[in-house]
Amino acid sequence: MRDQLYINGQWVSPDLGGYFETLDPATGEPIQRVPAATEEDIDHAVHAARQAFNRGWGQSSGAERATWLEALADELERSQDGLAALEVRDNGKPLPEAQWDIADAIGCFRYYAELARELDGRQDEALALPDARFHCRIRHEPVGVAGQIIPWNYPLLMAAWKVAPALAAGATCVLKPSELTPLTALELAGAAERIGLPAGVLNVVTGFGGEAGGPLSQHPGVDKLAFTGSVPTGAKIMSAAAADIKNISLELGGKSAFIVFDDADVDAAVEWILFGIFWNQGQVCSATSRLLVQEGIAPRLIERLVEETRRISIGPGLERGVLLGPLVSAGQYQKVMGMIEQGRQEARLLTGGKRPAHLPQGYFLEPTIFSEPADSASIWRDEIFGPVLCVKRFKSEAEALKLANDSRFGLAAAVMSADLERAARLANGLRAGIVWVNCSQPTFTQAPWGGMKQSGIGRELGRWGLDNYLEVKQVTEYR
């Protein structure tokens, strides 16, 4: 059991000695105590990260850093099963989903090891200028100290999306996991310790948003703030960054549309829709929570969808065969239930909307479908971040596009149609950072991830994820 902060390569108690309990969402019972970092701890962690950056990490070669990232991936792989089980206890998700996430997190460290090596080859590339007396070369330098604040829906995977590209770029990290799911981030620190990663390169500080996240986002020693979470917190991070013009990237919420045309295959559509909204209990930023169905296919599709939704097995994530676990916390449960109650006034409830009778404890909720909400309905416009789907019918391609784009979010969207030309037209017209055609949610470490409008600023993953932690420098010489 890890119940200390990981700062400068050491396990330390929080400065003010505060702890809190992390709870198992399947029971509401405590799992273990976790340190609640405050400003002093954050300050120590940022200083440790700065020293580590200056002591050599920031000047190391990509090839050296690649070796460390591969060692970290190997070390995580050795405890893969334990990590998946711990993730289920802390977050609630079904075990096969957690296993998938942990494997993805490990893959992310391996992928950025490769990119770190390639970075050496990209250093000092010559740039042709129109005046031949000037010679320009381009350098990619690490941004410095990265403050990284992450949510609870994919605890270790979100940590990997932040830490792997930062370390690959030569930045050092202060990572603050969500107070709701801190355990696997502490295990990541444990893996860093076991492989002997130089002290201060990765620091993990657990604690609450205001007391730990706030000081991290305001710390003048942080060069780069990378945040994933809700829009309101993103706005706070952005104003904290404004004080000293910190480099920021934000991955925020979504209310993504899934458009199904009359010519789509009903079985395939039902499968992708269920995956798009009920995976991880709908607690997915890119969850396709707004379903737009063309009139002709709507009766058949909706009937099948409701039928299949009622078959979903709900229970504790460690139980065999479970497809839907509990929501992450009492707070999240109340928030989603509150939105469902409001939804009952705004739309027609087709299925779900209540606690399953056989699960009186924990934060369990039936997968829920509403139909025909008004355009202004809260359940249609606001992010629910739970297993709640809203369905609306449309007549024409133009209407579908207009409805899909009528959102303050722009993270993802999906289109299902046998007509690939139409799907391509839609994909070009959708104001979203990610568009899936004839599928929903596949996520590749190689491809850019992020949103337009209030869904965020910047992109993670792929080479764009590495660029988040690099400064580009031109060196121009007159000969």
- In whole angstroms, the minimum distance from the beta carbon of 18 to ligand NAD comes to 15
Give min distance, CB of 253 to ligand NAD, in A. Answer: 3
192: CB partners within 8 A, 6+ apart: 6, 72, 201, 202
Cα dihedral across residues 439, 443, 444, 448: positive or negative: positive
Tell me whether residue 79 or residue 443 sits nearer to ligand NAD (CB atom).
443
Which residue among the candidates 251, 366, 383, 460 is catalytic per the annotation? 251
Residue 77 CB-density burial (10 A; 0-12 exposed, 13-18 middle, 19+ buried): middle
Helices (H), 370-478: 378-381, 397-405, 420-429, 462-467
Residue 429 tokens, joined:
């017209």
- Whether residue 470 contacts residue 62, with contact meaning beta carbons closer than 8 Å, is answered with no
- Of the pair 57, 278, the CB lying nearest ligand NAD is at 278
Bridge partners (DSSP) of residue 457 are 250
Query: CA dist 314 to 254, 302, 306, 320, 358, Å?
Result: 25, 21, 15, 11, 9
Residues in contact with ligand NAD by CB under 6 A are 149-153, 176, 178-179, 208-210, 213-214, 217, 228-230, 233, 236-237, 251-254, 285, 383, 385, 411, 451, 456
Our CA angle for 219, 173, 117, nearest 5°, is 140
Six token digits for residue 411: 């993270």
350's enclosing H/E stretch is strand 348-351
Active site residue 77: no
What is the phi/psi pair of residue 288, to 5°? -85, 80
Among residues 76, 102, 98, which one has the least CA distance to residue 88? 98
- By beta-carbon proximity to ligand NAD, the closer residue of 8 and 218 is 218
Indicate the DSSP class of residue 289.
Answer: -
Q: Minimum distance between the CB of residue 31 and ligand NAD, rounded to whole angstroms?
A: 18
The residue (of 25 and 170) whose beta carbon lies closer to ligand NAD is 25
Decide: 328 and 182 in contact? Cβ < 8 Å. Answer: no
317 — phi, psi (to 5°)?
A: -60, -25
Query: What is the closest distance, in whole angstroms, from the C-beta atom of residue 176 to ligand NAD in the complex?
Result: 6
Question: Please, what is the minimum distance in Å from the beta carbon of residue 212 to ligand NAD?
Answer: 7
> Is residue 224 within 8 Å of residue 171, measured between CB atoms?
yes
Active site residues: 251
